[in-house]
């Protein structure tokens, strides 16, 4: 019985040692489990923060895209206006060129008219000289006739 008690006590000691070893393992595993839980919670928080950051970036990019689309629409409209102005400028340029051609023709016509006016002026002066000469001759004849009238009265 004493031997059996000693064996049993030995077994109990071994079981207590085993139990303590397992309890230590259990505490270590529980500690590791708690650490893993904390680590997972931190990772989950980090992941949530990252998701929020990505969502904010997505919203920001959406706003930028909308602004870019608005800007592109304004630029298209401005481009259309500038093209219309360019067409109008080209038409004005063509009209000015046509006007310059017309102006050149008018200038040439004015030159021809000036030449004709100068010729008419020259011939008019000659005619006026002839008229003055004829008027002087008539005056001389009139004076002669007056003299003859006086002579015949005398």
Dist CA 121 CA 127 (whole Å): 10
Half-sphere exposure of 25 (CA within 13 A, CB side): 6
Alpha-carbon distance of 132 to 126, in angstroms, equals 10
Residue 13 and residue 19: Cα distance in Å, rounded?
A: 9
- The two tokens of residue 42 are 């931190």
Q: Using the 8-state DSSP alphabet, how is residue 1 labeled?
A: -
**pTM: predicted TM-score of the whole model, two decimal places:** 0.44
Torsion of CA 110, 113, 114, 117, to 10 degrees: -160
Q: Parse the chain into domains and list their residue ranges.
A: 1-109
Which pLDDT tens digit goes with each residue over 8-55?
999 999 999 999 999 999 999 999 999 999 999 999 999 999 999 999
């Amino acid at each position: 019985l004493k031997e059996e008690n000693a064996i049993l006590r030995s077994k109990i000691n071994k079981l207590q040692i085993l139990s303590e070893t397992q309890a230590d393992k259990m505490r270590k595993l529980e500690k590791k489990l708690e650490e893993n839980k904390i680590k997972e919670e931190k990772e989950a928080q980090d992941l949530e923060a990252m998701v929020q950051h990505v969502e904010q970036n997505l919203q920001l990019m959406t706003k930028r895209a909308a602004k870019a689309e608005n800007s592109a629409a304004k630029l298209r409209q401005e481009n259309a206006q500038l093209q219309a102005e360019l067409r109008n400028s080209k038409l004005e340029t063509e009209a000015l060129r046509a006007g310059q051609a017309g102006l050149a023709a008018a200038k040439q016509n004015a030159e021809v008219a000036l030449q004709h006016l100068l010729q008419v002026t020259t011939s008019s002066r000659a005619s006026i000289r002839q008229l003055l000469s004829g008027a002087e001759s008539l005056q001389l004849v009139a004076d002669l006739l007056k003299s003859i009238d006086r002579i015949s009265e005398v």
